[in-house]
Chains A and B, each alone.
Chain A
């Protein structure tokens, strides 16, 4: 018997199934309103509380998601795909964010204790401020500056697309602390909410999709934080015991590990679109000629197969992280395949249903708008292709 298997453990499989059924039945009915109002339901905690399986929520300590035998990242993958099968809004609820991943990658043990552990214990929410209006993928262009002034860093600059930006307990802000070093001068600073000089320019940007997810424009004007709020530093300066990760590297590592999960979201949405479309089409078979009905069935089959392909690489990307054999290409392939493919799937589903498939009575048009971001944030598929190409030809690719 082969040890190789794509089968998840029965426990993780059951977890995924229960999560999927619950999200479709319970989360989905709130989806339209979340989109229209650009915010999650006011009673989101109450709604999430009805989940039959743990969600790893951080607003309560009775909802720990203990990784299954398949591994932490494999468990995360199942969570992302199946939670979003219902709709994307639950991911936009106040939550842990990804700032703590940066703290984990770049922080000293002391900082990890202060800003990572409490997040994982559900006591803190984080924001992540990297992108600025003039750059996205090229993180070397950070123009926000941090200047040391006695026992403080003074931060100046503006950031956009900051998840949870207007409500988190702290933001991990990337700023250049030494312009003479170019991109090597980029460092990361923990800026707690309420720090003077830190203001919210726009609470929630007006987006094509994921409209209920809070992404904010933030402004830092002479914003002073203690010297030890620079990751990798303490009050006397740089510490030796922390991991030696540069600011840019820290940001990229945090993004890289999370990337396959974004593909998982895309797969969840596309599967929801296929299932919804299949269900609706069943009642409409009589309207199609036999040839067209056969074409419709072929399409549905091809779309399901494409999603299976996406899942294989998504779980492979999770597997290599879980097994301590990370590589850069697995997450990159995962991130460049599913989002674009899932755009096509959801569009095709709307086409199969005709113009009524785009109606706001259904959610396909919403999911079509939601899924688009998966191919933009945390590294576009263009960037992913460069990462994959470097696997073959090194730095020549770019």
Chain B
């Protein structure tokens, strides 16, 4: 039966994370970027929600939120600041994966670790080249008591800080998805230049090359693993959507107060129609994320799940890029200077759009 309203839990999470995003994340946006690190008090507030680094109830944690609830949290936190939100989500991703797929040995101490505010987690997922989760070329090969990991990952978070990295790859014989814990400083782990980028500096992203052997005990369970990976991919679409929504509302408020040619610029269709289109697209993106999230909870058709996630990520990123662009246009000269937040959203959306980009999912077209 169709049901598109939020349940009580989702409603409560939405309200709490929206407030946290606006009141705690948003004010430190610039600081997090300038310092290439999320301020400690902000980090604490986000981690303590238990939503970004969840631990299952069996392990004594607050439980792993359902996918819809999780996306609701990511979207609303990102309404405040997408970069801080994703830094927390990516740092918490190992906690999510280990809660759902870890062996008892791997899970030991997870609860304590998840509460440690000084450590950062890392999952190496993306490879570029438009590869979806089922097409990864990083291989994870069992060799007796050990496992060999060979491949190259891009945008690996906390590449200079995480104690270990959970690498996502495939078993070469079956191409089934696998995940394995690799110590970041092990021989055969080569972290590339950790330079600053267009945005997201607080997540300490870098490319990492792996040609490393680790104990077999480092392998995570494979059951349901791909669904969790798809969930992590989808989180970026939620972040883009929350940020786009904020940009629209910010630009709309500015347009309502800014006077040109005798009236608020919001009354010009050249301003209001693109805003209306952005609002409409963002609603579409939200629904697409919601659809994908609900399928991740309700369906086991992996091929279909992967396709809907890819589509949602592509659309949400394209929308956020164009929507934040129009927000800059609405603010005009003010949109271009750092005293206003829109230029940061514009950079962040473009950066995020490169993470999980598939050239087949869209094509270039000029303005007209």
> Taking each of B154, B261, B354, which has the highest tally of chain A beta carbons within 10 Å of its own beta carbon?
B354
Establish whether residues B270 and A354, one from each chain, have CB atoms under 8 Å apart when the complex forms: no
Interface residue B158 (Cβ < 8 Å from any Cβ of A) = no
Across the interface, B338 reaches (CB within 8 A) one of A208, A288, A299, A385, namely A208
Across the interface, A354 reaches (CB within 8 A) one of B129, B336, B350, namely B129
A299 to B193, CA, bound (A): 29
Across the interface, B367 reaches (CB within 8 A) one of A138, A209, A291, A340, namely A340
Also in contact, A360 and B332, with CB within 8 A (given A208-B338, A343-B325): no
A381 to B325, CA, bound (A): 12
Across the interface, A299 reaches (CB within 8 A) one of B195, B328, B364, namely B364
Separation in Å of the A245 CB from the closest CB of chain B? 21
Also in contact, A358 and B351, with CB within 8 A (given A291-B360, A292-B358): yes
Separation in Å of the A136 CB from the closest CB of chain B? 5
Binding stretch for chain A, among B37-45, B62-70, B92-100, B339-347: B339-347
Establish whether residues B339 and A344, one from each chain, have CB atoms under 8 Å apart when the complex forms: no
Across the interface, A360 reaches (CB within 8 A) one of B197, B261, B343, B363, namely B197
Interface residue A96 (Cβ < 8 Å from any Cβ of B) = no
Establish whether residues A292 and B351, one from each chain, have CB atoms under 8 Å apart when the complex forms: no
Residues on B with C-beta less than 8 A from A358 are: 197-199, 350-351, 354
Across the interface, A138 reaches (CB within 8 A) one of B196, B261, B359, namely B261
Interface residue B10 (Cβ < 8 Å from any Cβ of A) = no
> Taking each of B207, B259, B367, which has the highest tally of chain A beta carbons within 10 Å of its own beta carbon?
B367
Interface residue B214 (Cβ < 8 Å from any Cβ of A) = no
Establish whether residues A385 and B270, one from each chain, have CB atoms under 8 Å apart when the complex forms: yes
Binding stretch for chain B, among A39-47, A226-234, A371-379: A371-379
Q: Which B residues, 245 to 259, have Cβ-Cβ distances below 8 Å to chain A?
A: 259
Kindly report which residue of chain A lies nearest to residue B261, judged by CB atoms.
Answer: A138
Interface residue B357 (Cβ < 8 Å from any Cβ of A) = yes
Also in contact, A354 and B354, with CB within 8 A (given A284-B129, A376-B335): yes
Produce 1/0 per residue, A311-335, CB < 8 A to B: 0000000000000000000000000
Residues on B with C-beta less than 8 A from A348 are: 364
Residues on B with C-beta less than 8 A from A137 are: 260, 332
Residues on A with C-beta less than 8 A from B155 are: 354-355
Q: Which A residues, 115 to 157, have Cβ-Cβ distances below 8 Å to chain B?
A: 131, 134-138, 140-141
* Chain B count of residues within 8 A CB distance of the other chain: 52
Interface residue B150 (Cβ < 8 Å from any Cβ of A) = no
Establish whether residues A295 and B360, one from each chain, have CB atoms under 8 Å apart when the complex forms: yes
Establish whether residues B198 and A207, one from each chain, have CB atoms under 8 Å apart when the complex forms: no
Establish whether residues A356 and B336, one from each chain, have CB atoms under 8 Å apart when the complex forms: no
A286 to B12, CA, bound (A): 48
Establish whether residues B366 and A344, one from each chain, have CB atoms under 8 Å apart when the complex forms: yes
Separation in Å of the B296 CB from the closest CB of chain A? 24
Size class of A's contact patch? Answer: 35 or more
A205 to B338, CA, bound (A): 9
Residues on A with C-beta less than 8 A from B127 are: 287
Residues on B with C-beta less than 8 A from A136 are: 260, 332-333
Separation in Å of the A292 CB from the closest CB of chain B? 5
Also in contact, A355 and B367, with CB within 8 A (given A161-B333, A292-B130): no
A320 to B155, CA, bound (A): 49
- 5 additional contacts (CB under 8 A) given A206-B339, A350-B354: A208-B328, A344-B366, A354-B155, A355-B355, A358-B350
Q: Using a CB–CB distance below 8 Å, which chain B residues touch chain A?
A: 126-130, 135, 137, 154-155, 193, 195-199, 205, 207, 259-261, 268, 270-271, 321, 325, 328-329, 332-333, 335-339, 343, 346-347, 350-351, 353-355, 357-360, 363-368
Q: Using a CB–CB distance below 8 Å, which chain A residues touch chain B?
A: 131, 134-138, 140-141, 160-161, 205-209, 284, 287-289, 291-292, 295-296, 298-299, 302-303, 306, 309, 336-337, 340-341, 343-345, 347-348, 350-361, 365, 368-369, 372-373, 375-377, 380-382, 385-386, 398
15 contacts between A and B (CB under 8 A): A134-B259, A137-B260, A208-B343, A287-B128, A292-B359, A302-B365, A306-B366, A337-B366, A354-B357, A358-B197, A365-B197, A369-B198, A375-B329, A377-B333, A382-B268
